[in-house]
A and B are shown apart, each in its own frame.
Chain A
């Protein structure tokens, strides 16, 4: 006797859709609606503080104003510098530390756990913490500097120093994340690969650059994407650490969005800026993800 197929295919699809629909509906409200309304508001002159004044159609004038604003351009330049500094530092230090943690030594697991701690803090907490440590008069960083005969640095009071300070704090916080992913990637490489390379006479550096790093590339690349996107929209760290100052020197694009939306309450203009930021991040992510999938085909 032949067995009948359990279900015709169409019923199966319907059933799948049925199971998925609760999640899909929630997703639609949580993601699609806010984005839609964001784009919608960006075409209006509108302030959430004065709803009585109503919404005046503005067309693309919000975008036009923003894109011709040189102060905004400065925000992008600052954000770019910050992203470049902290992501490259995080990747290099994270990969190095992760590689060192491959070797077995006493107390490795304890050290590993301790290294993860900064990542667990909220950026606001980390920001305030470092704000005290970086205080130019009585902060511990300057205290240590003077111990070694250095001069006190006004970390948060000078624009260039504040950029370095913020990048350092972000690196302090997020390097453990790279360490974590790098460790996972390195552990995925079978021991026989290293044994074969050892027998083949490869030096540790040659093994690292020729085998370990390329074989871990997909995972490290995902880590890079996540850090790029995350640091690009960094906001809360700056609120706590510098408050955007001195002046508006350490305001990121996200900071500018928040300031426009919730200090000046130019809701329409803030929406337009948020849309621009969203487009940049999505574009960046798409380029990187495409590169990642071409990488996956080979390994």
Chain B
């Protein structure tokens, strides 16, 4: 087990900054998930931690010791890759014990450890088969078994579930979370799937364009996105964003007649300058009771949830339909669901807004 620290880590590919001054501390035993769109630098960061990718500047520390110049094999890490990384010429058992054999561990120890991981992953029936005989999901299970068999200080996972069928992915996700808590191994996981991130992480590191956008617990990331990017990237359907226009007595939602009065807004917001409102569909409701009268464009259902859309100028906003029947309705905005962002920088404006 180890604590992993990244200090001012930058990685350049020619002139392109793949990772730009990243700072992060992953605590001992913590499950941290790197989340972000493709090309944001999350996999590059992970590969740098593994030692498969050189760094341009900054430090990587394991338990306070700088490891930048250590070979991957000297870092006591284990890694699971996105695509095939099982050794096709070896059986499942030979694959799993490969890290131990390569390091010359005693035969009796190898046998004991193989028994142990085989039990955890229920791989007993497949040990003598070759990887090509297994479905992709089972292969990743083997890759995971190979990763944990030698008690790594840090477990690195690079989109391990993205090549697996949807149905099996859920199961693997659950097992992975369970296993990590049981082993208590420091885990860094890279994904572009927010559901994986939300369900697995102790903390999520949200990256965009080579930089960290926000580091937060899943719930906090969802409820208090640090920027417009975080707000839109997390949550499905994604958060509605609309510019607020200053009018007498409050701020108006775009071109709509809806005005948020000063009493509904955090103090100091009006003085701040251009502001954008972010509100999730679940907090933007169509109700039978009192509210703002706005023309509804469309309604649709996803399972038991009913949604509706309406327009403000060019923007299409989504909300949830809370009416009992399909009668006339009014729109309400849940005050606790309102997020305010600086319209120029995209940064979140806190409870106390200073200009």
Query: Could you tell me which A residues sit within 8 Å of B by CB distance?
Result: 190, 192-193, 195-203, 206, 210-211, 214-215, 217, 298-299
Contact with A along B124-136 (1 / 0, CB 8 A): 0000001010000
Give the docked Cα–Cα distance between A217 and B73 (Å): 26
Give the docked Cα–Cα distance between A214 and B89 (Å): 7
Taking a contact as CB atoms under 8 Å apart, the answer to whether A199 and B89 are in contact is no
Given A192-B81, A206-B102, A298-B130, check contact A199 B88 (CB 8 Å): no
> From residue A207, how far is it (CB to closest CB) to chain B in Å?
8
Segment 142-161 of B: residues with Cβ below 8 Å from A: 143, 146
Taking a contact as CB atoms under 8 Å apart, the answer to whether B84 and A199 are in contact is no
Closest to B88 in A: A299
Give the docked Cα–Cα distance between A19 and B222 (Å): 66
Given A192-B84, A211-B87, check contact A199 B103 (CB 8 Å): no
Segment 83-121 of B: residues with Cβ below 8 Å from A: 83-90, 98-99, 102-103
B79, CB-defined interface residue at 8 Å: yes
B334, CB-defined interface residue at 8 Å: no
Taking a contact as CB atoms under 8 Å apart, the answer to whether B89 and A202 are in contact is no
Taking a contact as CB atoms under 8 Å apart, the answer to whether A202 and B102 are in contact is yes
Contacts of A197 in B (CB 8 A): 87, 98, 102
Contacts of B251 in A (CB 8 A): none
Given A199-B50, A199-B52, A298-B130, check contact A193 B87 (CB 8 Å): yes
B71, CB-defined interface residue at 8 Å: yes
Segment 29-50 of B: residues with Cβ below 8 Å from A: 50
Segment 57-87 of B: residues with Cβ below 8 Å from A: 71-73, 77-79, 81, 83-87
Closest to A215 in B: B89
Taking a contact as CB atoms under 8 Å apart, the answer to whether A202 and B52 are in contact is no
> From residue B341, how far is it (CB to closest CB) to chain A in Å?
40
Contacts of A210 in B (CB 8 A): 87, 90, 98, 102
Give the docked Cα–Cα distance between A197 and B72 (Å): 10
Contacts of B78 in A (CB 8 A): 199-200
Taking a contact as CB atoms under 8 Å apart, the answer to whether B71 and A198 are in contact is yes
Closest to A207 in B: B102
Give the docked Cα–Cα distance between A298 and B132 (Å): 9
Given A215-B89, A298-B130, check contact A196 B81 (CB 8 Å): yes
Taking a contact as CB atoms under 8 Å apart, the answer to whether B73 and A195 are in contact is no
Give the docked Cα–Cα distance between A22 and B85 (Å): 47
> From residue B143, how far is it (CB to closest CB) to chain A in Å?
8
Query: Could you tell me which B residues sit within 8 Å of A by CB distance?
Result: 50-52, 71-73, 77-79, 81, 83-90, 98-99, 102-103, 130, 132, 143, 146
Given A200-B146, A201-B73, A202-B73, check contact A195 B85 (CB 8 Å): yes
Contacts of A202 in B (CB 8 A): 73, 98-99, 102
Contacts of B99 in A (CB 8 A): 200-202
Contacts of A190 in B (CB 8 A): 83-84
Q: Majority SS of interface residues in chain A?
A: helix
Most chain A CB neighbours (cut-off 10 Å) among B52, B85, B99, B132: B85
Contacts of A215 in B (CB 8 A): 87-89
Taking a contact as CB atoms under 8 Å apart, the answer to whether B52 and A198 are in contact is yes
Taking a contact as CB atoms under 8 Å apart, the answer to whether B89 and A201 are in contact is no
Contacts of A211 in B (CB 8 A): 87, 89-90
> From residue B346, how far is it (CB to closest CB) to chain A in Å?
36
10 further interface pairs, Cβ-Cβ under 8 Å (given A197-B87, A200-B78, A210-B102) = A193-B85, A196-B143, A198-B72, A200-B98, A201-B103, A202-B99, A202-B102, A215-B87, A217-B89, A299-B89
> From residue A292, how far is it (CB to closest CB) to chain B in Å?
15
List 8 A-B pairs, minimum CB-CB distance, nearest first. Answer: A202-B102, A201-B73, A200-B99, A196-B85, A214-B89, A192-B85, A199-B79, A199-B72
Contacts of B73 in A (CB 8 A): 198-202
> From residue A295, how far is it (CB to closest CB) to chain B in Å?
10
Q: List 21 A-B contacts (CB under 8 A).
A: A190-B83, A190-B84, A192-B81, A195-B52, A196-B87, A197-B87, A197-B98, A198-B72, A199-B52, A199-B78, A200-B98, A200-B99, A202-B98, A202-B102, A203-B102, A210-B87, A210-B90, A210-B102, A211-B87, A299-B88, A299-B89
Closest to A201 in B: B73
Taking a contact as CB atoms under 8 Å apart, the answer to whether A199 and B130 are in contact is no
Contacts of B132 in A (CB 8 A): 299
Closest to B80 in A: A196
> From residue A291, how far is it (CB to closest CB) to chain B in Å?
16
> From residue A285, how far is it (CB to closest CB) to chain B in Å?
25
Contacts of B50 in A (CB 8 A): 199
Give the docked Cα–Cα distance between A192 and B72 (Å): 13
Given A190-B84, A193-B87, A196-B79, check contact A201 B130 (CB 8 Å): no
Contacts of B72 in A (CB 8 A): 195, 198-199
Give the docked Cα–Cα distance between A192 and B52 (Å): 10
Contacts of A195 in B (CB 8 A): 52, 72, 79, 81, 85
Give the docked Cα–Cα distance between A217 and B90 (Å): 13
Give the docked Cα–Cα distance between A193 and B143 (Å): 12
Contacts of B86 in A (CB 8 A): 196
Contacts of B103 in A (CB 8 A): 201
Taking a contact as CB atoms under 8 Å apart, the answer to whether A199 and B77 are in contact is yes
Contacts of B102 in A (CB 8 A): 197, 200-203, 206, 210
Give the docked Cα–Cα distance between A199 and B47 (Å): 11
Contacts of B71 in A (CB 8 A): 198
Most chain B CB neighbours (cut-off 10 Å) among A201, A202, A203: A201
Give the docked Cα–Cα distance between A203 and B72 (Å): 11
Give the docked Cα–Cα distance between A196 and B51 (Å): 11
Contacts of B52 in A (CB 8 A): 195, 198-199
Report which of A192, A206, A298 forms a contact with B83, defined as CB distance below 8 A: A192
Most chain B CB neighbours (cut-off 10 Å) among A190, A196, A217: A196
